[in-house]
């Protein structure tokens, strides 16, 4: 814990209460008071003829602010689709139909079949699906009565018989009508149950895939947001369809084909044998076609993902596109992606055309053969005209069912392709998994240490950004990381927030590697302000309370005050003003995001300063907020600093060069040291800032003050 001789203390709520931060005046010596006052002479290379004097810091002594931080909202785990291992039956089907793992499967590194997973998806719906299958049996049985009845009717009328199937004709007709009614109702029930079950499966897939995506390391979503959206959208639809409507149609086809063939055998085994000769070639064609279609379907979905990604990226940068008159260029780029999708769809259409054309032809030729041979059997008296009619209709049913089976097969293959892409999201293990490690206690304090930290971005393995950082940051102190653009300041912050882990070395907190804590409990201690603060649709209150949903209005207001957000009280609806409807300046957005970081009651604040210049009023307001945080609260502040004014405010300056810490010390020491790298850097920074009126104004004001 921090010593009692400091001005402000972090205290925790009594057991059973929500943890609260309490900034209370205590002791006589504040950290700020211990710090040397910055002076103009300590600062600027005089050869530039510019002087900058950081205002002296006066610690506030009487403020007692209580802000309740809420319990961290637990991040729900991604529920497993089903605990059991896939049945070997499915695995064997998968191995047959899906010999080469798709990209998704391969990336998932499971080798587990998408077909098996598709079947697993249907399991929570087993009740609805079983009833639907029962109804399907009823409706299919009724349908299969039709050809037999027609044959018998023809024989009945041609023979001028007194009874029809042992019954008077009106009774038999009424019985048939009743059976058809039952069949119709059963069919309606089947369609309803299958569709609703399908929609529930789609909803479940989307929820789980999105949840799983949220649990990934940030780089994953950064790289492929558009593609992920396409997986959640189009692929989830295809997948849901393939396990319900498609499955239902497939089952119906199986039932119709088998009952049809049985009935045909019953009517005439000779004719039926003749018919069955044409089935195997069609089946082989179906398998070849199905495989080809699956490959195409995978490629089409990938292309659709690419297309969405292109559109999303450019729509997000609409201003840049407009400003650079790049509409034509972007239109062409999108057109080429659309063309890729179209070309694949054309291939699919060609394959379908050939397949359906040839199966249709084969079917009709078979029918002709059946009619000729059947006519011969009728003429010899082996079968009746009614039997031949029934047989012809049954063979039509069987033919229809076989082609239904091929679309079932191709639908399943499409589902497998889409499934691999969706399951990839579901199965992907984050490189920094949530919930793994020990819980970091909210009271534990200690220094942050970088021990020979080396780091390379996974997407840019050829460049080592950090080449052995050694650094210690004591609790409650403030550090400004300085260095040229690209020197790795922001990278250090992202490592601290565990968006990435070091490739070598370690970062410790109170002696423990931060990788040993669950990422959630570690991040709970951290408030982070990004270079480009993102505000979400919603009110100012919602934005400040983002990630701390139980924060009260008082908590939010206290955090806003601490972040120097007085302007909020002047907004038309104050904290209930909807962001987006109110034009906020860059500085105001930045301060709202500082308030968002503070309302979490962090013990570590990571602040990645915006590189863009703020107007002087905004810069002053942001600086004051940073000043207040550095001086009034027991928060370890680590700044990726770009502005002189904030560099000067930190207790310690760390200079990064060529991936290592080249110098560190107080601002005074470094700026006074002749020939220090820091002086050179600051000279360059000043030259840069000279062109920014805001900084000049600040510098001038400070000179006047001096």
Positions touching ligand ATP (CB under 6 A) are 457, 459-460, 465, 483, 485-491, 611, 640
Cβ-based nearer residue to ligand ATP, 395 or 487? 487
3-state secondary structure of 522: helix
CB of 624 to ligand ATP, least distance (A): 23
DSSP characters over 565-628: -THHHHSTTGGGPEETTB---HHHHHHHHHHHHHTT--SEEEEE--SSPPPHHHHHHHHHHHHH
Cβ-based nearer residue to ligand ATP, 62 or 485? 485
Cβ-based nearer residue to ligand ATP, 268 or 478? 478
CB of 497 to ligand ATP, least distance (A): 13
Give the separation between CA 600 and CA 21, rounded to whole angstroms: 9
CB of 481 to ligand ATP, least distance (A): 8
Cβ-based nearer residue to ligand ATP, 7 or 488? 488
CB of 693 to ligand ATP, least distance (A): 21
Cβ-based nearer residue to ligand ATP, 240 or 483? 483
Cβ-based nearer residue to ligand ATP, 135 or 682? 682
Cβ-based nearer residue to ligand ATP, 274 or 457? 457
Q: Which two tokens stand for residue 687?
A: 């030259």
Give the separation between CA 237 and CA 539, rounded to whole angstroms: 33
**CB-count exposure of residue 647 (10 Å: 0-12, 13-18, 19+):** buried
Cβ-based nearer residue to ligand ATP, 485 or 704? 485
CB of 656 to ligand ATP, least distance (A): 7
Cβ-based nearer residue to ligand ATP, 202 or 529? 529
DSSP characters over 87-128: PHHHHHHHHHH--S--HHHHHHT----HHHHHHHHHGGGHHH
Give the separation between CA 609 and CA 490, rounded to whole angstroms: 9
Cβ-based nearer residue to ligand ATP, 117 or 309? 309
Cβ-based nearer residue to ligand ATP, 275 or 661? 661
CB of 459 to ligand ATP, least distance (A): 5
CB of 491 to ligand ATP, least distance (A): 3
**CB-count exposure of residue 419 (10 Å: 0-12, 13-18, 19+):** buried
- Using N-to-C axis directions, what is the helix angle for 236-243 and 114-122, rounded to 10°? 70
Pairing of strands 504-509, 448-456: antiparallel
CB of 608 to ligand ATP, least distance (A): 7
Cβ-based nearer residue to ligand ATP, 165 or 317? 317
CB of 609 to ligand ATP, least distance (A): 8
CB of 654 to ligand ATP, least distance (A): 12
Cβ-based nearer residue to ligand ATP, 82 or 454? 454
Cβ-based nearer residue to ligand ATP, 282 or 686? 686
Gyration radius from the chain CA atoms: 36
Give the separation between CA 614 and CA 205, rounded to whole angstroms: 44
Beta-strand runs (E) in 58-205: 65-68
CB of 467 to ligand ATP, least distance (A): 12
| Other CB atoms within 10 Å distance of the CB of residue 476 | 21
Q: If phi over 0 gives left and psi between -120 and 50 gives alpha, with beta otherwise, what is residue 273? A: alpha
CA distances (Å), origin 685, targets 156, 490, 610, 643, 689: 103, 18, 14, 8, 6
**CB-count exposure of residue 125 (10 Å: 0-12, 13-18, 19+):** buried
Contact indicator for 633, 559 with CB cutoff of 8 Å: no
* Of the candidates 133, 137, 142, 81, the residue with the CA atom closest to the CA atom of residue 112: 81
Contact indicator for 512, 441 with CB cutoff of 8 Å: no
Cβ-proximal residues to 129 (8 Å cutoff; 6+ apart), any chain: 122, 193, 194, 197, 244, 247
CB of 652 to ligand ATP, least distance (A): 17
CB of 661 to ligand ATP, least distance (A): 13
**CB-count exposure of residue 185 (10 Å: 0-12, 13-18, 19+):** middle
Give the separation between CA 678 and CA 627, rounded to whole angstroms: 22
CB of 638 to ligand ATP, least distance (A): 12
- Max intra-chain CA distance, the chain: 123
Cβ-based nearer residue to ligand ATP, 227 or 524? 227
CB of 680 to ligand ATP, least distance (A): 16
CA distances (Å), origin 246, targets 195, 439, 471, 565, 601: 10, 46, 60, 57, 52
DSSP characters over 337-406: HHHHHHHHHHHHHHHHHHHHHHHHHHHHHHHHHHHHHHHHHHHTTSS-HHHHHHHHHHHHHHHHHHHHHH
Cβ-based nearer residue to ligand ATP, 238 or 493? 493
Give the separation between CA 121 and CA 341, rounded to whole angstroms: 28
Cβ-based nearer residue to ligand ATP, 482 or 563? 482
CB of 494 to ligand ATP, least distance (A): 7
3-state secondary structure of 264: helix
564 phi and psi angles, rounded to 5 deg: 60, 45
Cβ-based nearer residue to ligand ATP, 47 or 460? 460
Give the separation between CA 539 and CA 574, rounded to whole angstroms: 9
First to last CA, the chain: 38
Give the separation between CA 576 and CA 387, rounded to whole angstroms: 79
CB of 504 to ligand ATP, least distance (A): 16
CA distances (Å), origin 492, targets 11, 501, 654: 29, 10, 12
CB of 636 to ligand ATP, least distance (A): 19
Q: How far does CA 58 lie from the centroid of its chain? A: 46
């Amino acid at each position: 814990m921090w010593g009692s001789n400091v001005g402000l203390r972090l205290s925790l709520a009594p057991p059973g209460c929500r943890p609260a931060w309490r900034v209370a005046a205590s002791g006589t010596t504040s950290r700020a008071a211990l710090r040397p006052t910055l002076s103009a002479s300590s600062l600027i290379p005089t050869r530039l003829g510019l002087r900058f004097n950081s205002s002296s810091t006066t610690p506030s002594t009487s403020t007692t602010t209580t802000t309740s931080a809420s319990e961290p909202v637990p991040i729900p785990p991604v529920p497993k689709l089903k605990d059991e291992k896939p049945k070997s039956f499915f695995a064997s089907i998968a191995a047959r139909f899906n010999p080469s793992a798709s990209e998704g499967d391969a990336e998932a590194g499971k080798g587990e079949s998408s077909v098996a997973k598709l079947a697993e998806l249907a399991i929570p719906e087993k009740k609805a699906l079983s009833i639907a299958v029962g109804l399907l049996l009823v409706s299919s049985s009724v349908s299969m009565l039709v050809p037999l009845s027609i044959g018998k009717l023809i024989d009945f009328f041609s023979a001028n018989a007194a009874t029809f199937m042992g019954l008077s004709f009106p009774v038999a007709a009424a019985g048939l009508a009743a059976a058809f009614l039952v069949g119709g109702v059963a069919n309606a029930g089947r369609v309803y149950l299958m569709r609703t079950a399908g929609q529930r499966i789609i909803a479940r897939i989307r929820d789980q895939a999105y949840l799983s995506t949220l649990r990934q390391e940030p780089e994953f979503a950064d790289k492929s947001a558009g593609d992920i959206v396409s997986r959640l959208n189009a692929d989830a639809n295809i997948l849901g369809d393939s396990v319900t409507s498609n499955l239902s149609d497939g089952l119906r086809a199986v039932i119709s084909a088998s009952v049809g063939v049985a009935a045909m055998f019953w009517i005439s085994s000779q004719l039926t044998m003749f018919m069955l000769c044409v089935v195997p070639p069609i089946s082989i064609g179906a398998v070849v076609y199905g495989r080809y279609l699956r490959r195409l379907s995978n490629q089409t979905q990938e292309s659709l993902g690419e297309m969405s990604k292109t559109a999303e990226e450019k729509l997000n940068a609409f201003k840049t596109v407009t400003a650079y008159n790049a509409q034509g260029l972007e239109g062409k780029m999108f057109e080429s992606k659309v063309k890729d999708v179209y070309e694949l769809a054309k291939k699919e259409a060609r394959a379908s055309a050939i397949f359906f054309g040839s199966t249709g032809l084969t079917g009709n030729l078979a029918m002709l053969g059946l009619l000729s041979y059947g006519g011969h059997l009728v003429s010899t008296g082996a079968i009746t005209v009614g039997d031949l009619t029934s047989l012809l209709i049954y063979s039509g049913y069987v033919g229809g069912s076989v082609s239904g089976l091929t679309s079932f097969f191709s639908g399943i293959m499409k589902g497998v392709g889409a499934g691999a892409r969706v399951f990839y999201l579901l199965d992907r293990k984050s490189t920094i998994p949530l919930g793994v490690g020990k819980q970091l206690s909210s009271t534990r304090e200690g220094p942050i240490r970088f021990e020979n930290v080396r780091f390379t971005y996974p997407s840019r393995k050829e460049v080592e950004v950090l080449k052995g950082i050694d650094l210690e940051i004591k609790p409650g102190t403030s550090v400004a990381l300085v260095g040229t653009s690209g020197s790795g300041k922001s990278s250090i912050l992202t490592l601290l927030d565990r968006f990435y882990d070091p490739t070598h070395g370690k970062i410790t907190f109170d002696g423990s590697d931060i990788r040993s804590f669950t990422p959630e409990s570690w991040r709970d201690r951290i408030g982070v302000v990004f270079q480009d603060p993102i505000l979400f649709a919603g009110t100012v209150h919602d934005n400040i309370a983002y990630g701390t949903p139980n924060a009260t209005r008082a908590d939010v207001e206290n955090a806003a005050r601490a972040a120097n957000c007085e302007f909020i009280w002047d907004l038309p609806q104050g904290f209930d003003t909807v962001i987006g409807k109110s034009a906020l300046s860059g500085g105001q957005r930045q301060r709202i995001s500082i308030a968002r970081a503070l309302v979490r009651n962090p013990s570590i604040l990571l602040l990645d300063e915006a590189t863009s210049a703020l107007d002087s009023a905004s810069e002053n307001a942001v600086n004051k907020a940073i000043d207040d945080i550095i001086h009034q609260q027991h928060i370890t502040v680590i700044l990726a600093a770009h502005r002189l004014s904030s560099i000067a405010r930190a207790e310690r300056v760390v200079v990064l060069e060529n991936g290592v810490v080249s110098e560190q010390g107080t601002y005074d020491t470094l700026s006074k040291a002749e020939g220090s790298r820091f002086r050179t850097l600051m000279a360059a920074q000043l030259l840069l800032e000279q062109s920014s009126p805001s900084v000049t104004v600040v510098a001038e004001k400070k000179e006047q003050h001096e």
